[in-house]
Amino acid sequence: MSLLLANFPPLTGRYSVGCHDIEWQNQQPSNSRTPPDEYCKSVLMRLYYPATIKKGDHKANWITHPDYAKALCDIAKLPAFLSNWLSGLASIKKTRFYKDAQVLETDEPTQFPVIVFSHGLGGNRLIYSSICSDLASHGFIVAAIEHRDGSASLAKGVEDEWVKYDNVPPEVWGFRHHQLRHRVAEVELCLAGLDELAITKSNKGGPNFEGKLNMKSIVMAGHSFGGATTMLMLNDKACRFQCGLLLDPWAQPLMMLTDTDVHIQRPVIAILSEQFSFWPDNYESVQELIDHSVHSNKSLCLSLNGTEHQHQSDVLLVLRYWTLFDFRSPFQIDPVRAIDLNTEAAVTFINNILSKPITASKIAYPATKVSTNNAKKRSREPSAPRPISNFDPIINHTKKTKLAL
């Protein structure tokens, strides 16, 4: 089967990794003053975390149900016979992390920084397992949310029903804004659940996260539409996140908001695929939002040579033997190399920011309010470049820079 669906590469960090699926119930009842798209009964997430692997632990399957893979095949418009065949293979494909393994035990009490991850249109909590587990191998606990706003290829609903992909054209902005409000509510509920996990001993036989989550060192991350979700979460001056990780962020939904002035309040690193950096309108919007963020002097925007949009998910990694001889695509980087570069840049940036925590009281906000309306071109010049450690020769602050491969 490895000749059909390629094996997942070894993790690059020092830790073994476990995963655990959890659905966190909302403890606050809904009321008439809460808009329906801002209230969630529960949130479904997969936790990736440093783990102690014991005899009898088993590696997790990549896809937990064949219907997840079938939904991805439907989005790709594959014929039914091929969809059924690939779905069966995907549902038994093993990963590099272990299902429900024990959270890492150390000689000294250790708390791990937390990353909340938001998937893009057509994604789900499972298909970013490579980058999420790789981040966990470097000492983070990653909570990958499965959004139930209709943006997932398929999502497990509150009553175990399937929430199907909306299939609405991307530029229907009113619908995307409705989804963003729902996503924000899910992220907030995710944080509430993690707060509780951090102080409560598990009594259901699952991994025990008591005392393991550092809820003062939280990072918001997302791919594509999840990048828009991330920037919106970082728009609050009092947000709990220390920084943001933007993977091919889709900025247009934010630029089209009429009731919200998006002004990123935390340092961010935006890692663009070469394919996404060739989308001028979106690229300029990302640059604009970062250049005029509160911490623009600490933020970075870079692109990776030879990569396309799906190089930041599992899709091209698992299908890399199928695409090996696809000479039609100009984006021919090894998908394993692409994940490694994304992880290395993200880990370096995040650790640099978390070493000097940012709190709301320490932020110096500009005196003037900056509009994100595309009709107005901002004239403020970006701050001086702020390269970071291992990437000094190849990263410039908010400048389109290619990594030399």
Q: Which residues are known to be catalytic?
A: 224, 248, 309
| CA distances (Å), origin 344, targets 269, 338, 389 | 12, 10, 11
Whether 242 contacts 354, CB under 8 Å: yes
Q: How many CA atoms lie within 13 A of 219 on its CB side?
A: 31
Q: Do 26 and 39 meet the contact criterion of CB atoms below 8 Å apart?
A: yes
Looking at the DSSP bridge assignments, the partners of residue 269 are: 245, 300
CB 342 within 8 A of CB 316: no
Residue spans of alpha helices (H) in 119-249:
129-137, 173-199, 225-233
Alpha carbon 261 to its chain's center: 23
Answer whether 124's CB lies under 8 Å from 152's CB.
yes
Pinpoint the alpha helices (H) of 246-374. 252-255, 274-277, 280-291, 315-318, 335-354
CB distance 141 to 207 below 8 Å = no
Which residues, at least 6 apart from 268, have a Cβ–Cβ distance to it below 8 Å? 230, 231, 234, 243, 244, 245, 246, 290, 293, 295, 299, 300
Q: Which of 190, 363, 183, 339 is nearest to 273 (CA)?
A: 339
